[in-house]
Each structure stands twice: as structure tokens, then as C-alpha cells.
């Protein structure tokens, strides 16, 4: 038995699954401390399905904690960025392209030291242990506990990052150190940015993981828990403490994977209508289409494998202002069940209008009886056109394509979306994201440049595949189930030397013991 949990801005959802069967689900309000909301959802769903705590094999949690922390610049640690690259890279120091307020929020501590590699594995400069030790001592003096280490071409040769980390750890034993090659891909600034974001989230990650652990323990659940990553795979608690940044954008990925699973449709546009925002994405062969450009998080460019998602401020909790007519982006969020008119509150929300328009029967319909019929119609028309437009932007051709509606806010859409070949509202649609979390696999990815002067293309590809498999295994995949799901080969251009960049991804089923 698996339990999938999705923590959104408005609701925390939990679902119990046995194999591919959904046994039951609940939706509860997200709480400011997050964990108590998760506990409430778990309690609710166990009660509903009569599943005992012992029957649970694993709990998969998708959470927006870490994205929110960066966006809101809250609970971030002072972080030192150490880059091995001198004499190269000096003109663009770490965090050079960050929004100043975020850079200030983590202290703007940056150090450039000698080292790094060329594309073909030669050293740019030898590693200078003394120099790194001095940097480490300075970091210690400043009392900084979060450190991101990056080195030029570390995805090709990680040894300098690893050695630098050893030295730093000798000087600052209690520091949490993030190595860039473990997170990002080739492209120094974006990978380094991801590593720094990861480092500054270290304390929060520990606190969140501890509070999950605590919450589950209080409930008497001994099953291991996992966090959803942005590529639709899982990581265990220890890994999540170390790599919180990998949870970024996992929410939309989960709902799209869940939508594909529930509907059986593999090529479609998925519209996930939440409480505060809605996400629209394209499913290609059952997986979210990946963003092709660098993805910004809180104003910082990163180069993760992120889903290509269009988000806009429409949800069940969207606040409606009437003069002039405006829907969102402000939302009552998790306070929907106290602030909306149908729940006895005093704020006009999208949900109230849906009830007034007869699209849903929630709360007390009497509370919206007096609502102007013309206004209700205008609001619902506007909502429909917002969704139509978003779907049209994400579609890959003018040809009609299935549109899958999921999420708690689907009550807002009653008419067929323009350009849809069919409208699919699968069973259990309100909790597609939690289901996406529950069905997730574990994976491993490698991204390296190979110089084809020493080895053949086939050997390089075999090596890359082996590395991806090993990483998947390390993440907890059952060895027999590991499959290579993606191979991307990019020749290095403009130069006659034969070098190629290989990106390989492997996934497998989670080992459940």
C-alpha cells in the first residue's frame, strides 16, 4: 500500500493506492506549519479507507515548501559560494545575475579559487589546497554553515569539487556542503545557481524532513517516506535533506503524471486547477514536456530538468473584484473554507460564483442566492477564456487534442475548452497530484562531455548509460526494473575536435522492503 500526499498552496491531499488501484482520498486545508496539515490528511485517508498503519509500504510527499521559501526569501541560510575556476571565470563571479534582494538574503559571500577542468579533462589550474583552506577558515570565521562548491566542468571531472569539500569539511566540520555536479548540468552559472539555492535551503530541508518524520512517528507510521522531484521521480528522506532544490516544480509534474495515469491518455494538454493558481502543461508519451529554456526560480536561472508549465492566477480561492471585473491573482488560499461566502465568510471567490452559477454544490448555496446573475455569467465567461487561452498557448499544433482537467478547481470549467478533441475529467480528478506522487518511480541522470579521441562514441554512450543506471540504483531503484528512458547526444560545435555531450536518464521502480 502506498500513500501519496500533495501539499499545495490551498489544500493538502492524500490518497491511498494499492498497486494501481485508488482505495480512497481526502483533501484538507494546508496549514501554515504544513506538517500538521499532512498529518490531518493522513489521518483522514486512513480512517476513510480503513487501512491500518502497518499495511503502509511507503509515503510519497510532493511539497512546495522549498520553492516558496526561495520565492518569498524566507528561512534561507547565509551561504558561501566557492568556485574553482581561476584564472578562468573571474569576470562573472557567483550570483552575478541574481536579484539583489535574494543575494543579500543569503549574505552575498563568494570566493573564487584556482582549479577546474577543460572540456577534455585537462586542468585549468592545479587545485591549491592552501588557498581552499584559507577560504574555509574565512567561512568558519564568519560562522557560515551552508557552502556550495562549484568547479568548471565538474560534470566531466568531479574530483576538484570533491577534494575541495574534504578540505572545507576539515575546517568547518558541521557545514552542509552542496557540490554542483551532483545537481546541475553543464553550464556553470546555472549549475552553480542551483547548488547555491540548494545550500541555502539546507536548514529548512532538515527542519521539514524532521517534522515529517516526527508527524509520521506520532501517528505510529513506520513506513519510509519519499519526496517528489521535478522530473517525476522520488528521493528518500536522507537525500531530500541534502538536495531540497530537486523538489522545485514537482507539483505540476505530479499532477500531469497523475492525469496521464488516471485517464490512460498519453498525449494531451493537462489543466490542473488549484486553489490559488492553475498549471497547464503538455503530456508527451505520458510525461510532461520539458522546458527547453533555462528556468527561473525566484528570479534565478537554473538548468534543471523542469516541466514546461504555464501557470496563471486562477483557482477555486481566487478573489473576485467587481468594479472593474478582476479574477485573482489574489486568493484566499487555504482559508477558502472560512472566508468564501458559501462557507459563511465575506469574500467573493471563484468558488462562490461557480456555486451561484449552478456548476457546483458546495457549502451553503443560500449564501450566494443574492449574487447578480449577470455578474456570475461574466465571471464564468472570463474564467473559461483564461483556460482556453492557456491551453491554446501550450498546444503544439492547431489540431484538436484531448484536454484533461484535474485538481480541486475543476468545478470552474463547465464548457468544452476551445480546440479540445475531447474533455477528460478522470475519476479521482481532484487528487491527480497526490496520485502522481504515489505512482512515481526513482531515477538517475548523467550529463557529461566525452572527448571522442580516446574512446569511441559507443563506449562513451555505454559509460553514460552505466552511470545513469548506477545513480538510479543509488536512489533506491530495483535493479531489474531500471530502464534508460532518455538519451540526448549533443555534438560540441564550431570546433573540429571530436567531443560530444551525453545526457542519459534511467528510471526504475522503487525498492519496497
Binding interface with another protein (CB under 8 A): 85-92, 96-97, 116, 118-119, 122, 124-125, 152-153, 186-189, 282, 284, 289, 292-293, 393, 395-398, 449, 490-501
Among the listed residues 111, 153, 117, 118, the one whose alpha carbon sits nearest the alpha carbon of residue 133 = 111
261 and 404 Cβ atoms separated by less than 8 Å: no
Judged by CB, which is closer to another protein: 51, or 500? 500
Sorted by sequence, the CB contacts under 8 Å of residue 441 that are 6+ apart come out as 232, 233, 234, 477, 507, 508, 509, 510
When the beta carbons of 223 and 291 are compared against another protein, the nearer one is 291
Q: How far is the CB of 250 from another protein (least distance, A)?
A: 22
CB of 87 to another protein, least distance (A): 5
Preceding peptide of 387 cis, ω within 30°: no
Q: How far is the CB of 443 from another protein (least distance, A)?
A: 21
Closer residue to another protein (CB): 307 or 333: 307
- Where does 264-396 have alpha helices with state H? 336-339, 350-356, 373-394
Q: How far is the CB of 50 from another protein (least distance, A)?
A: 45
Closest CA to 217 of 53, 15, 380, 71: 53
Min CB(155)–another protein separation in Å:
8
Q: Provide the minimum distance between the beta carbon of 300 and another protein in the complex, in angstroms, as a whole number.
A: 13
Q: Which is nearer to another protein, 137 or 421 (CB)?
A: 421
Instruction: Report the sign of the C-alpha dihedral through residues 460, 463, 469, 471, in that order.
Output: negative
Per the CB < 8 A criterion, the answer to whether 27 and 432 are in contact is: no
| Dihedral angle sign, alpha carbons of residues 387, 388, 390, 395 | positive
Look up cell 568556485; give the residue. Answer: 83
* Residue 92 beta carbon to another protein: minimum distance, rounded to whole angstroms: 5
Least Å distance between CB 220 and another protein?
A: 48
51 versus 284: smaller Cβ distance to another protein? 284
Whichever of 71 and 96 has its CB closer to another protein, that residue is 96
Of 82 and 227, nearer to another protein (C-beta) is: 82
User: How far, in Å, CA of 200 to CA of 442, rounded?
Assistant: 25
Are 26 and 14 within 8 A, CB to CB? yes
Residue 67 CA neighbour count, 13 Å, CB half: 21
The DSSP string of 415-475 is SPPTTEEEEE--TTGGGHHHHHHHT-BEEEEEEEEEETTTS-HHHHHHHHHHHHHHHHHHT
Q: Count how many Cα atoms sit within 13 Å of the Cα of residue 282 in the half-sphere of its side chain.
A: 14
Give the nearer residue to another protein in terms of CB position, either 399 or 427: 399
Q: Which is nearer to another protein, 223 or 389 (CB)?
A: 389
User: Least distance (Å) from another protein to the CB of residue 508?
Assistant: 26
Amino acid at each position: 500500500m502506498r500513500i501519496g500526499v500533495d501539499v499545495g498552496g490551498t489544500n493538502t491531499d492524500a490518497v491511498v493506492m494499492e498497486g494501481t488501484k485508488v482505495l480512497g482520498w481526502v483533501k484538507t486545508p494546508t496549514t501554515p506549519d504544513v506538517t500538521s496539515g499532512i498529518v490531518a490528511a493522513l489521518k483522514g485517508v486512513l480512517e476513510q479507507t480503513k487501512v491500518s498503519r502497518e499495511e503502509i509500504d511507503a509515503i510519497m510527499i510532493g511539497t512546495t515548501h522549498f520553492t516558496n521559501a526561495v520565492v518569498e526569501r524566507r528561512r534561507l541560510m547565509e551561504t558561501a559560494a566557492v568556485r574553482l575556476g581561476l584564472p578562468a571565470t573571474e569576470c562573472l563571479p557567483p550570483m552575478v545575475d541574481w536579484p539583489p534582494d535574494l543575494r543579500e538574503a543569503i549574505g552575498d559571500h563568494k570566493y573564487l579559487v584556482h582549479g577546474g577542468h577543460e572540456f577534455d579533462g585537462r586542468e585549468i589550474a592545479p587545485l591549491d589546497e592552501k588557498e581552499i583552506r584559507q577560504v574555509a577558515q574565512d567561512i568558519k570565521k564568519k560562522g557560515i554553515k551552508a557552502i556550495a562548491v562549484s568547479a568548471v566542468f565538474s560534470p566531466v571531472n568531479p574530483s576538484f569539487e570533491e577534494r575541495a569539500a574534504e578540505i572545507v569539511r576539515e575546517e568547518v566540520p558541521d557545514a552542509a556542503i552542496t557540490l554542483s555536479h551532483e545537481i546541475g548540468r553543464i553550464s556553470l552559472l546555472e549549475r552553480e545557481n542551483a547548488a547555491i539555492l540548494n545550500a541555502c535551503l539546507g536548514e529548512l530541508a532538515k527542519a521539514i524532513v524532521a517534522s515529517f518524520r516526527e508527524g509520521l512517528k506520532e501517528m505510529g507510521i513506520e513506513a519510509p517516506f519519499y519526496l517528489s522531484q521535478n522530473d517525476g521521480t522520488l528521493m528518500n528522506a536522507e537525500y531530500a535533506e541534502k538536495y531540497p532544490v530537486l523538489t522545485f516544480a514537482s507539483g505540476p509534474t505530479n499532477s500531469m503524471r497523475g492525469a496521464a495515469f488516471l485517464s490512460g491518455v498519453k498525449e494531451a494538454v493537462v489543466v490542473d486547477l488549484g486553489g490559488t493558481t492553475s498549471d497547464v502543461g503538455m503530456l508527451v508519451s505520458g510525461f510532461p514536456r520539458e522546458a527547453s529554456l533555462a528556468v527561473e526560480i525566484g528570479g534565478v536561472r537554473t538548468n534543471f530538468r523542469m516541466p514546461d508549465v504555464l501557470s496563471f492566477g486562477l483557482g477555486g480561492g481566487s478573489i473576485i473584484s467587481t468594479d472593474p471585473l478582476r479574477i485573482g491573482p489574489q486568493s484566499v488560499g487555504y482559508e477558502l473554507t472560512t472566508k468564501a461566502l458559501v462557507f459563511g465568510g465575506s469574500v467573493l471567490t471563484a468558488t462562490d460564483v461557480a456555486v451561484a452559477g449552478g456548476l457546483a454544490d458546495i457549502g451553503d448555496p443560500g449564501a450566494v442566492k443574492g449574487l447578480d446573475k449577470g455578474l456570475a455569467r461574466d465571471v464564468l465567461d472570463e474564467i473559461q477564456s483564461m483556460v482556453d487561452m492557456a491551453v491554446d498557448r501550450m498546444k503544439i499544433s492547431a489540431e484538436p487534442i484531448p484536454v484533461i482537467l484535474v485538481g480541486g478547481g475543476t468545478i470552474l470549467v463547465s464548457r468544452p475548452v476551445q480546440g479540445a478533441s475531447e474533455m477528460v475529467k478522470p475519476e479521482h480528478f481532484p487528487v491527480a497530484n497526490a496520485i502522481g506522487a504515489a505512482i512515481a518511480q526513482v531515477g538517475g541522470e548523467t550529463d557529461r562531455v566525452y572527448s571522442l579521441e580516446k574512446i569511441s562514441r559507443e563506449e562513451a554512450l555505454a559509460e553514460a548509460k552505466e552511470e545513469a543506471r548506477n545513480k538510479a540504483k543509488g536512489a533506491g531503484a530495483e535493479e531489474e526494473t531500471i530502464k534508460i528512458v532518455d538519451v540526448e547526444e549533443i555534438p560540441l560545435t564550431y570546433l573540429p575536435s571530436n567531443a560530444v555531450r551525453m545526457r542519459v536518464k534511467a528510471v526504475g521502480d522503487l525498492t519496497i522492503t
